[in-house]
Amino acid sequence: MITSEVCVQKFKDDYRFRLAEKSINLYLLATEQLLDYCSKPFYELTTRDIRNWLVHLEDNEYKPITVKSKLAGIKLFYKYCKEEELVKHDPAVSIPFPEIEDRLPHYLEHSQLLQLRRIVENRVDERAVIEVLYATGVRIGELVAMKKEEINWSERIITIPNGKRKKARMVLFTRYCGEYLRKYLDERDDDHQYVFVNPSATGPASIRTIQDRFMSYKKDLGIHLSPHTLRHTFAAHLAIKGMPLACIQDLLGHDSPHQTQLYARLYSHARKEMYDEWM
C-alpha cells in the first residue's frame, strides 16, 4: 500500500489540469489537515474520523462555507482513491455538506453605480477596471489575467480562456465600456500583453491592489462594495432589462446547480424591483 504522501501527490498530479490552481491547493490543504488531525494513513480513515474532524473545525469557529469547501476537497480526494482502487470503501461519500444560509447577492442600484463612477472620474485606470467589471461580469481573477489579444474590438467580445474550472467562454462589452478601456490602453507606454498592469507597469495588475481600492470606495460611499459586487450588478441589471436568465448565466460562466439557484433568486428579485418601480 502506498503512503499518504504519495497518494496525495498522485491526486494533485491527476487533478492539477482539471481544476483551477487555487481550488486544487485548497483541496490539498484540507486533505493534509485531515490526515494530520487523525494521525492515520489515508486508507485507515473512517467516516467517524472525518465527522470528528468536521466537529473540530466547527469548535474552532470555522465558517460553514469554509467547512463545506474543505469537505468538498475530502470528498473529491476519496472519490479519486476509490476510482484508483486505493481504498475499498469511500468514508466521505455519506457525509452531507453543512447547511449554509443563501443570502441574496448584493448589487448596486443605478444611482449607486453613478456615485462609484464619479469618485474615480479622473482616474482613468480605475475607471477602466470598474467599467470592464460591470460591463462583462467577469471575476476579478479573470480580469487581471485578461490579455490584449483576447479583445475583439470590432465585435466587442473578450475571450476568457481559463474561467472557473478552466472553462472557456466569451463575454461582451458595451461601446461605453470600450471608450474607457481604449482610453486607458492608449495612455500606457508599455508593451505588456496584459490588459491591466500594476502601477509601475512591470507586470499584471494585482488582485489585492484592486480589492484595496474597492475597500476605499466602500468607505467613501458607505455601501457594501467589492469587485464581485459588480458581477452581481451586471447580472441584476441585465435581468431588469429583460435578458433571459439562461443567457445571463452563460455570460457569467455558471454551471453548478447551487449557483444556478442563487442567481435565479437574484433574477426574480431584480425583475420584481423593476415591476414595483413601474406600478
Catalytic residue IDs: 139, 164, 228, 231, 254, 263
In whole angstroms, how far apart are CA 279 and each of 43, 242, 273?
63, 17, 10
Single-letter amino acid, residue 8: V
- CA distance linking residue 227 with residue 245, whole number of Å: 22
Coil, helix or strand at residue 255: coil
Q: What are phi and psi of 261, to 5 degrees?
A: -65, -40
- Cβ neighbors of 121 (< 8 A, separation 6 or more) are 127
Q: Are 221 and 236 in contact (CB under 8 A)?
A: no
- Cβ neighbors of 73 (< 8 A, separation 6 or more) are 26, 27, 28, 29, 30, 31
Q: What are phi and psi of 24, to 5 degrees?
A: -65, -35
Burial 46-69 (b: 16+ CB within 10 A, else e): eeebbeebbeebeeeebeeeebeb
Q: Are 253 and 163 in contact (CB under 8 A)?
A: yes
- CA distance linking residue 31 with residue 228, whole number of Å: 28
Burial class from Cβ neighbours inside 10 Å (0-12, 13-18, 19+) for residue 76 reads: buried
